[in-house]
Amino acid sequence: MTAPVKTTEATYRSIPDMFFQRVAATPDARAFGYPGPAGPTWLTWAEVAERATAIAAGLRGLEVGPEDRVAIMANTRLEWALADIGIMCAGGATTTVYPTTGAEDATYIVRDSGSKIVIAEDPQQATKLTGADLPEVTHVVLMEGEADPAATPAQLTLAELERRGREALAADPDMITTVAKTVEPEHLATLIYTSGTTSQPKGVELLHRGWCAVSVAVGELKVLVPEDLHYLWLPLSHSFGKMLLCAMIHVGCPTYIDGRVDKLVENLAVVRPTLMCGAPRIYEKVHNRVVTTALNDGGVKAALFRWAVRVGKLRVAKQQAGESVSPLLALQHELALKVVFRKIQQRLGGRIRVLVSGAAPLSKDIAMFFAAAGLPILEGYGLTESSAANFVNRPGALKIGTVGQAIGDLEARIADDGEILLRGDPVMRGYHNLPEETAEALTEDGWLHTGDIGELDDEGYLRITDRKKDLVKTSGGKYIAPSAIEGMFKAVCPYVSQAVVIAHSRNFCTMLVTLDPDAIAGWAEGGPLAGKPYEEIVGSAEARAMVDGYVRQLNAQLNRWETIKKFAILPRDLSIEDGEITPSMKIKRRGVEQNFSEIIEKLYADAVAEL
């Protein structure tokens, strides 16, 4: 089946064109917010333009020309957004490097991309390139910290780059607006390296036409509206964050930028956004905190919480089935919202209009919980190779368990083997310097092989079954979808952080479990494990008994061949640094299985010994 084709008229020639149209339309409106000494501080669109064009002019002075790559190696922050816009207004293209990327991979990305300039967050990030053979890099620009006058390549600060740019603009005020007019839809805008599971990441070449098409489409769907206050904390090195940055330029909604995840809950109460997008992990943590708090209170509070969840889910189920909601149920749900669920809204700042989830699968049960609480999550789907946003649920037209309908001019169809294929403006030009891999991913007539398995219903809603490469076959010949089982367990157990199902070529399923530090500390309060170190709590017989109960609940929902026969609680959570999860919180199964191979083998050996 093929999703219906929709067309979006080309509104912009390029991202610089889109940016300068935004500045002209609302020069004095709030654009970017950031953490200042006295709290949130805001720049207007005119002020953003002043700084971004100064950066662009400074880069032109460093001989950045059409499609020349400039790498950004920093956390999500105001300067990241300003630098990105400045690079593209100079005619260049942004190479993104996650700040958590190790020195070897960072060097590889900068070298493979052919980046001429590297904009690093601080001297510590810059040291990742020390001593590396990077003949094309002429300068390293530091967002903060002092430049080393003896460094090779030469260093300067972002402030110095902007100062040089302002001097150049004083002599030639139209320099950057003139350059911006030369940027065409087919020009390279961004080079994003997928983290993947292989030793060397692949550079995805994304064009101006793709980002512009996605931005306009998102605006048409009213996922973002000008009246919104958007909180952007996602990695701007990731395609999801980049897409949001482009979309908010088109829509014009003010966006508070702060990538410090440890400050997220604290800042939500201060910024009070109406819109927030995130990976499923952030919603899982909110769900876990709310559920564990209610259950730990016990008594009347726990009973009231269970009643509210039951009422809310019944109302959502009826709406999803197209059935009418009785006046009594509607009244009960209204009471549940006021008495119980308002606490969740308050936790998110009290003004949320839209929540969006992407980058990884969202558990259907978690989605049901948030919808029951009056905070429906609009789940979407996309790949780095297709500019991040390809399908999304619309406000007021949510179909839980799906990732919504195709956006913009995107075409989608399901291949004979169930793989999702995509075609349209957002699709990449190809993999940088990898013609063979490009030919494998893109058909001659432009269809992108996503590697995902899915189904399209009669209304064009897409349901993702699993990653094609993640579908595993047991030794008994049964196919297992690990991510589906893992998502179910996260909804069942409010103390879990990560779950990894092991089944490939095995005769039964096992599971590795990590527990959320905050949630498990709360669970331990009032008992013999209160105040104990994390590793001691998760290694205790009490924690194992607790998790075992939830595994039994999970197994009751699964087919016989999917059930978890053995599990292990790991002594630590999975990490990006150890190659076990990607920066967008996707599990890197190969890395997990390699790092915990001894534990996995013991699970299967113990099972054999028990026979």
pLDDT tens-digit series, residues 529-548: 888 999 999 999 999 999 99
- Show the domain range for 582: 472-610
Q: Which of 382, 43, 380 is nearest to 211 (CA)?
A: 382
Asked if the structure places residue 122 within a domain, the reply is yes
The last residue of one of the domains, among 242, 257, 277, is 277
Side by side, the strands of the sheet bearing 509-515 are 496-502, 509-515, 564-569
Asked if the structure places residue 503 within a domain, the reply is yes
Residue 522 CB-half CA count within 13 A: 17
Distances (CA, A) of 319 to 308, 374, 449: 17, 13, 34
According to DSSP, the β-strands at 139-142 and 154-157 are parallel
Asked if the structure places residue 134 within a domain, the reply is yes
Asked if the structure places residue 562 within a domain, the reply is yes
Number of domains in the chain: 2
What single letter denotes the amino acid at residue 292? T
Domain with 540 in it: what CATH number? 3.30.300.30
Classify the C-alpha dihedral 346-349-353-358 as positive or negative.
negative
Asked if the structure places residue 298 within a domain, the reply is no
Task: Give the pLDDT of residue 5.
Answer: 39
The 10s digit of each residue's pLDDT in 541-588 is: 999 999 999 999 999 988 888 889 999 999 999 988 888 887 767 788
Q: Which residues of the chain have pLDDT under 70?
A: 1-10, 195-199, 466-479, 505, 584, 607-611
Domain with 90 in it: what CATH number? 3.40.50.980
Asked if the structure places residue 575 within a domain, the reply is yes
Asked if the structure places residue 321 within a domain, the reply is no
Asked if the structure places residue 198 within a domain, the reply is yes
> In whole angstroms, what is the distance from residue 302 CA to residue 304 CA?
5
